[in-house]
Structure 1
Amino acid sequence: MTVSTATGPLRPRVRFTGLARLSPRAGVVASASLIFILVMSLVLPAVTGYGPDQFVDLPYQAPSLAHPFGTDGFGRDVMVRTFAASRVDYLIPLLIVAISVIIGCVVGVAVTLIGGFAEWIMMRVTDAIIAFPFLILILALVVVFGQTVNVPFLPNGTIPIIVAVVLTGWAYYARLARSQTLSLREMDYITAARIMGYSTARIVFRHITPKVLGASVSYAIGDLIVVMGLIASLSLFGAGIAPPTAEWGQMMFEGRSVLDQYWWVTVFPLLFIIVSAVSLAAIAERLVARLEGRTQ
């Protein structure tokens, strides 16, 4: 994830400056790529006539006109499954990061305005959370919840991942929110709000948190890349999204043992992860450039 200091999280910025300089519209191209993948994940089953979990041909059929990405070991169309997996690999990280950002920003702003012992406690709690290996927490939650927890609109195996990453991820945004609030709380309009008798809750939610959220956007997009890679890698530990749900990490895990013969089962999901990560990084770069008041 990130490394923090006493003044706030020291986040490595995901920058593809060379990509941004090659084209001033790199952010537009990156956004279009992500939207195209998501649209195809919805349209492709209707066009082909079969879904991501449907057996459509013999196992391990090479890429062809009938199946451009080939078939996997169960005879399922790899192209349909690869596009369908984007719904999981995009939306679950987005949900995780959104929850972490909201909790972290609200807590960080509130305790910094309150100050004193509450602020000290928050700093010590975030120190402990950041130091804790969250991968162990995820594996522990998988043992407790299992991969068969049924929640509407979410694939099996998602709950332990969401809970574990949010439990650790909010601390980084609380640190970031604290560093932002330390400078904002001395602004004249905050002082005026206090003089007028506005409650701390009103100052937190109406005057400071919106500004802190804006400053956290570029960092949140960088975290989307991290969480996306985390979800894909968890399949190696048996803690990822439960099959047969189409998910890029699970697809690569299923094709790892036959990579030398049936490369397409693993290569196409890997390519989509790379394209998605580069696209998100390019979008983050453009946002950082705007926040810093410079043009690429």
Structure 2
Amino acid sequence: MSPRAHVVALGILAAILAMSFALPYITGIGPEQFVSRPFSPPSLAHPFGTDGFGRDVMIRTFAAAQIDYLIPLLVVAISVVVGNIIGVAAALVGGIFEWLVMRITDVIIAFPFIILILALVVVFGGETAISVLPNGTLPVIVAISLTGWAYYARLARSLALSLRGIDYVTAARVMGYSTWRILLRHMTPKVLGASLSYAIGDIIVVMGLIASLSLFGAGIAPPTAEWGQMMFEGRSSIDRSWWVTVFPLGFMIISAVSLAAVAERMVAGIEGRSR
């Protein structure tokens, strides 16, 4: 891949996210606004056409980036922070605590994720909204965060084990630093850098997961614009109104490829520093 590919990828991601906020103000059309006849084909007035409710597909496709970028970023950030702290703590403390943490992570990783999120939809309700986030977001955030940290905990533990006997950690122990100080100031930052490249790739997985949840009725609740929900709504008319499904799918693929390029660059940078 070209050395500058990650710069182009970052530019694409930034442009899509910026347009998601700016386009409704530029055009004066909101993502939930009825603007034309249902299933109108792409035209100069509506370059991506309209969906089955007469809403502008271009506006909704860009607006959906707010959900499909920011929600995965939020839940992966929670998983990274919680998982790294727990994983490093397990390696640093050792003994029964380390054994218990690893067994808990084994159970969480083995538990079927879709069952958990469907259970949370029942508990919280698919229409539950928190703050400015749309309906259906809370079960998604809670379910992915409850399971996602386990993967990072295992990764962080394996990396921390290689650091446990390193000179500066030993010196910190000799100087009488507390376990929490060694954990947070000396070990976690080192482990966190290696976890970030995995986290970028994980954002792609979470993005696809959120989109796929619409098939089970457990995703972001309509009428909020979200790529998976838009594709789900257009599935029955794809033979005659392909634009309803193709444009959200195309932007999702472009975003995933761009994130993969960024992740690849981060991995190369980490491996270069480790040499």
TM-score (norm 1): 0.91
1:30 is matched with which residue? 9
Are residue 245 (structure 1) and residue 224 (structure 2) matched? yes
What is the one-letter code of the residue matched to 1:95? Answer: L
Give 2:39's aligned residue.
60
Q: Is it true that 1:200 corresponds to 2:151 in the alignment?
A: no
CA distance in 1, matches of 2:28, 2:149: 42
Pick the aligned partner of 2:208 from 229, 232, 250. Answer: 229
Mapped pair 1:103 → 2:82: yes
Q: Secondary structure at the match of 1:293?
A: helix
Give the length in aligned residue pairs: 273
The letter of the residue matching 1:269 is: P
Q: Report which stretch shifted further, 95-104 or 106-115.
A: 106-115
How far apart, in 1, do the equivalents of 2:91 and 2:271 lie? Answer: 24
Q: Which residue of 2 aligns with 1:160?
A: 139
1:93 to 72, 76, 96: 72
Say if 2:54 is the partner of 1:79: no
In the alignment, which residue of structure 1 is the partner of 2:194?
Answer: 215
Q: Distance in 1 between matches of 2:222 and 2:54?
A: 15
**Displacement after TM superposition at 1:135 (Å):** 1.0
> Letter of the aligned partner of 1:187 in structure 2?
I
* Residue identity in the other structure for 2:193: G
> What is the one-letter code of the residue matched to 2:124?
F
Counterpart for residue 114 of structure 1: 93
Q: Give the letter aligned to residue 256 of structure 2.
A: A
TM-fit CA distance, 1:185: 1.1
CA displacement, residues 148-172 of structure 1 (integer Å, 9 cap, x when unaligned): 1121021110111111111111000
1:292 is paired with a residue whose SS is helix
What do the CA deviations read for 1:94-118 (whole angstroms, capped 9, x no partner)? 0000000000000111121111000
Give the alignment of 1:251-290 within 5 angstroms: 251-290=230-269
CA distance, structure 1, for counterparts of residue 214 and residue 85 of structure 2 = 32
Q: Where in structure 1 are there 5+ consecutive unaligned residues?
A: 1-19
Q: Output the CA distance in 2 between the equivalents of 1:135 and 1:211.
A: 33
| 1:169 matches 2:148 | yes
Alignment match, 1:12? none
Q: Gaps spanning 5+ residues in structure 2: where? A: none
Q: Which moved more, 1:146-155 or 1:211-220?
A: 146-155
Instruction: Tell me how large the CA RMSD over aligned residues is.
Output: 0.8
Tell me which residue corresponds to 2:123. 144
Amino acid at match of 1:132: F
Is residue 2:107 matched to residue 1:132? Answer: no
Amino acid at match of 2:85: V
Distance 1:45 1:152 in 2: 21
Q: What residue identity is the alignment partner of 1:183?
A: S
* Whole-angstrom distance in 2 between the partners of 1:270 and 1:259: 12
Distance in 1, Cα, partners of 2:129 & 2:136? 9
Structure 1 segments, 4+ long, off by >3 Å, are none
Task: Output the TM-score relative to the length of structure 2.
Answer: 0.98
Give me the whole-angstrom Cα distance separating, in 2, the residues matched to 1:292 and 1:106: 22
CA distance in 2, matches of 1:199, 1:24: 43
Quote the Cα distance in structure 2 between the aligned partners of 1:170 and 1:77.
38
Contact 2:129 2:137 in 1 (8 A): no
Question: What are the superposed Cα offsets for residues 126-177 of structure 1, whole Å, 9 maximum, x if unpaired?
Answer: 1111111111101111111111112102111011111111111100000011
Cα deviation, residue 210, structure 1: 0.7
